[in-house]
Chain A
Amino acid sequence: MSAPAGSARTTTLVLAFGIGSLVSVGMGVYARLHDATSFAFNLAGFSSGTAAKAWLATLAFALALVQLASALIMYGRIPVRAPRWIGTLHRWSGRAAVLVTVPVAVHCLYALGFETNALRGLVHSVAGCFFYGAFVAKMLVLQRQEAPSWALPMLGGAVFTGLTVLWLTAAAWFFGTSGLHF
């Protein structure tokens, strides 16, 4: 590996991880400093507040499972022949998943804030900040072809792990305590 290629790699990684980290920390600081309003407007379909959030998050998690499966196929970790559309499926299910999380996250950030009093809330808050930071880093790494080959699966795994923790500490908890309902 020649020196310029090596330095381009380093630059890409430093930029992607740096910006991703800034996004994470920035969200956390905002959520902590901003006073929770306990208010957020109701989107259409958002009328039942928490339940709607839980269902959106569950949809995102289901799409994330599609992400995991399609990524494993693309990297040859599942012994099936990768269909030609697998990349398209991966990209679009990923876009849908992250877009679905946005209303949920905005409600969390704006109406609730960074929770430090209860362990579940703390884990959830940290995971939320981590998730978007990892997502930003992954998009930035995707953008640059000179990134090392381990970066993408690692970041993808981080994003998936983040979303799983988010779902377990909120939607799964919500359905577990208040029952499976709309």
Chain B
Amino acid sequence: MSRFAPLLTLLAVAVLGGALFTLNVVNSPANSTGTPSAAAASQPAAAAAPPPAAPPATSAPPAAAAVAEKAYAGRSAGNEVTVAIAVKDGRAVGYVCDGKKVEAWLEGTLSGSDLALKSKDGKSTIAGTADDKQSFGRVAVNGKEWPFAAKAASSPAGLYEGRAQVRGVLNRIGWIQLQDGSQTGVWNRGGDEVAAPVLDPNRLDGVVVDGVSVTVRTIGGDDAVIMR
């Protein structure tokens, strides 16, 4: 073995780590839009991309909200993601998912008719308007952005959240039930995201994952959905 063996070992570790890391960055849902070269350079850019329209969620009590309490459910323009928003007394919560792997929980405000929500890490945002009948705007998830339209939802349509501790690991599921009866959801198993099991909106205690019963609740505008 050459006298540079330890350095070669170091180099091998660095190369393997770098290769895996690059694969991650390139394949990350946050970066898979655009050209490969854009993807490679997009980590910081993606973080900066979402429109700065959203004021901080913690700002002072906003102007009187146009809608007191309402839930909206809809889709992005190309059906890339499903969007649900619930508002109550000027507060807003949201959930965005693609039913397979991508999801984001958001919180924010409804000020007048202006919606502004963002996720805990700030990489996912909803900016738009909401009135009695519908909500329009733009939704950004991990650097990708689409216009969306969501209609006011009446039960059972709306947003649902399920939680279960499976042998010490938090499993969290978000479901969006649309007015037309379709449903999308993502199941986060302690960091691994997969398609959610089906939720029967008329039987919220019927979901079981890995042998553990899931506690499901409907989400309103005054619920906390960002885990701190």
Contacts and interface: CB of A to CB of B under 8 A. Distances in A.
B9 A139 contact: yes
Interface in A33-73: 35-41, 43, 49-50
Nearest to A145: B3
B9 A105 contact: no
Interface in B3-17: 3-7, 9-10, 12-13, 16-17
Contact of B191 (A35, A38, A105, A109): A38
B166 A95 contact: no
A139 B24 contact: no
Give the dominant DSSP class at B's interface. mixed
Interface string A112-149: 10000000000000000000000110111011000000
Interface in B172-190: 188-190
B22 to A, nearest CB: 10
Instruction: Tell which of A50, A136, A143 has the most Cβ of chain B within 10 Å.
Output: A143
A178 interface: yes
A102 B169 contact: no
B53 interface: no
Contacts, number: 83
B195 to A, nearest CB: 15
Instruction: Tell which of B7, B12, B17, B29 has the most Cβ of chain A within 10 Å.
Output: B17
Interface in A127-182: 135-136, 138-140, 142-143, 177-179
B6 A142 contact: yes
Nearest to B11: A139
B175 to A, nearest CB: 18
Nearest to A41: B27
Nearest to B192: A49
Interface of B: 1, 3-7, 9-10, 12-13, 16-17, 20-21, 23-25, 27-30, 47, 101, 121-123, 142, 166-169, 188-193
26 contacts: A35-B122, A37-B24, A39-B24, A39-B29, A39-B30, A39-B193, A41-B23, A41-B27, A49-B192, A50-B192, A91-B5, A95-B12, A99-B12, A99-B13, A99-B16, A105-B17, A106-B24, A109-B21, A111-B24, A139-B10, A140-B6, A142-B5, A143-B3, A177-B167, A177-B169, A178-B166
Interface of A: 35-41, 43, 49-50, 91, 94-95, 98-99, 102-103, 105-106, 109-112, 135-136, 138-140, 142-143, 177-179
